[in-house]
Amino acid sequence: MQINGFSKLSKKDKIDWLLQHYLSDSNEARQILEQYWHTDKALQELHDGFIENSISNFYLPYGIAPNFVIDKKIYAVPMVTEESSVVAAAAKSAKFWSNKGGFKTEIAGTIKVGHIHFTYTGATSELIVFFRNIRRDLLDAVAHLQQNMQQRGGGIKDVNLIDKTTELPDYYQIEFKFDTVDAMGANFINSILEEAADYLNVKAEKMLSGQWQTVMSILSNYTPESLVRASVSCPLEQLQTPRLSGYEYAQKFLTAVAIAEKEPYRAVTHNKGIMNGVDAVVIATGNDFRAVEAGVHAYASKNGKYSSLSHARIENDQLIFWLDLPLAVGTVGGLTRLHPLVKFSLQLLQKPSARQLMRIVASVGLAQNFAAINSLITSGIQKGHMKMHLNNLLNLIEANPEERRRAKAYFSDKKVVFSELKKLLGRD
């Protein structure tokens, strides 16, 4: 069913139209949508304002992983996720490392990049001279857009012409490098790029003999120069399990990581586990998880083959385990000013700078990865997963407290199988 002007309808009319055309039981459907409306009208309007055509709210659980010792500070980390085992795994891992020195982090840089992608039909040498002559004026032309950012210690850090003609005929870039301090900086970067492109279009027309066409001006979500490392380490004997000596455990752990380094099929799942933690914190702090995801996976392929983001080695009878993550996150601007829960998250994290948030996010990613590998090389993943999943299944069949108790006792030493659960509770 097609419609013109859907966005101009009131929320009620949008819902009426949808129910009429797409849903058979419109009373039930309306109830589902309305039961998620916030009773506080102002708050509901705030949420409706985030996007176009909002008709309800989609809740995700907001959980806490306490006991995160990161660079000697203790955090209770907010995590937003729908996956049942994620917060539990992060919390378990945080506790495990809390008395082993915790997570240590280093920031290798906070530079973000953006490009004016353009084609030029004339000689490259002419373009090089043009850019050399105009570079200073170009920076002056966009100076007014970066005054505030400069006052905060950021701004444009570099601008260069890049010849890409070996990859695509006539294709060049003007590449800007930025430090956006505590802002994610997407609007700042894109505004500068578009203004710079306008300036260059005019100058190119007047000064160049060939044809310049600006194709697009946009920041890159690939941020290998905005990079954080989180690491943990402990003596091997502290890794002993009932079945494995500390050394055996560490060897198996190293092999598991090496498999993820070599084998893309495993690397994708390994990194997905890391992103379980990363995304949960990124969302809780109002950051753009799609940007982070895209950048992280590009980084995982930086050597031409998709590989593990984390690495491990044994040195002086210690297991050293670390994760490198490109991250562009912000703690000011965007949703951080608007969403009450995002504000709460940032307060809970003691109002971190963007750099501190990078450290926290990377530590949670590493914690999540450790928890996953630990389960995989010892008990297997299903035990912990299914324990959490059992709750979801019990909710699905609306089990009463007595049935929940029986199911939990029954599955305490078995894999959870839905058909078996239903049989146990007589719900076949």
Instruction: Return the DSSP state at 163.
Output: E
- Give the helix/strand (H/E) hosting 311: strand 310-315
- Cα separation, 222 vs 297, whole angstroms: 9
The helix/strand count (H/E) of the chain reads as 15, 9
- Cα separation, 68 vs 90, whole angstroms: 9
Catalytic residues: 83, 272, 288, 385
Q: Would strands 73-80 and 310-315 be described as parallel, antiparallel, or unpaired?
A: unpaired
Site for ligand MEV in 69-98 (CB under 6 A): 83
Residues in the chain: 428
Q: Please state the closest distance from residue 226 (CB atom) to ligand MEV, in A.
A: 25
Specify the amino acid at residue 256: A
Q: Which is nearer to ligand MEV, 113 or 309 (CB)?
A: 309
Instruction: Return the DSSP state at 422.
Output: H
Other beta carbons within 10 angstroms of residue 282's beta carbon come to 25
Q: Which is nearer to ligand MEV, 65 or 372 (CB)?
A: 372
Map residues 286-315 to x or -, x wherever contact with ligand MEV holds by CB under 6 A.
------------------------------
Map residues 261-280 to x or -, x wherever contact with ligand MEV holds by CB under 6 A.
--------xx-xx--x----
Member of 183, 236, 291, 372 binding ligand MEV (CB under 6 A): 372
Site for ligand MEV in 177-236 (CB under 6 A): none
Q: What angle do CA 65, 70, 75 make, to 5 degrees?
A: 40
150 touches ligand MEV by CB under 6 A = no
Q: Please state the closest distance from residue 89 (CB atom) to ligand MEV, in A.
A: 8
- Cα separation, 269 vs 397, whole angstroms: 30
Instruction: Return the DSSP state at 103.
Output: B
Question: For ligand MEV, which residue has the nearest CB?
Answer: 273
Q: Please state the closest distance from residue 385 (CB atom) to ligand MEV, in A.
A: 7
Residue 59 token pair: 């809740």
Map residues 376-405 to x or -, x wherever contact with ligand MEV holds by CB under 6 A.
x----x------------------------
Phi, psi of 22 (to 5 degrees): -125, -15
Q: Are 291 and 328 in contact (CB under 8 A)?
A: yes
- Cα separation, 10 vs 307, whole angstroms: 48
Q: Please state the closest distance from residue 314 (CB atom) to ligand MEV, in A.
A: 20
Q: Please state the closest distance from residue 252 (CB atom) to ligand MEV, in A.
A: 14
Q: Please state the closest distance from residue 109 (CB atom) to ligand MEV, in A.
A: 27
Q: Please state the closest distance from residue 239 (CB atom) to ligand MEV, in A.
A: 18
| DSSP state letters, 244-291 | S-HHHHHHHHHHHHHHHHH-HHHHHHHHHHHHHHHHHHHHHTT--HHH
Question: Would you tell me which residues interact with ligand MEV (CB under 6 A)?
Answer: 83, 269-270, 272-273, 276, 372, 376, 381
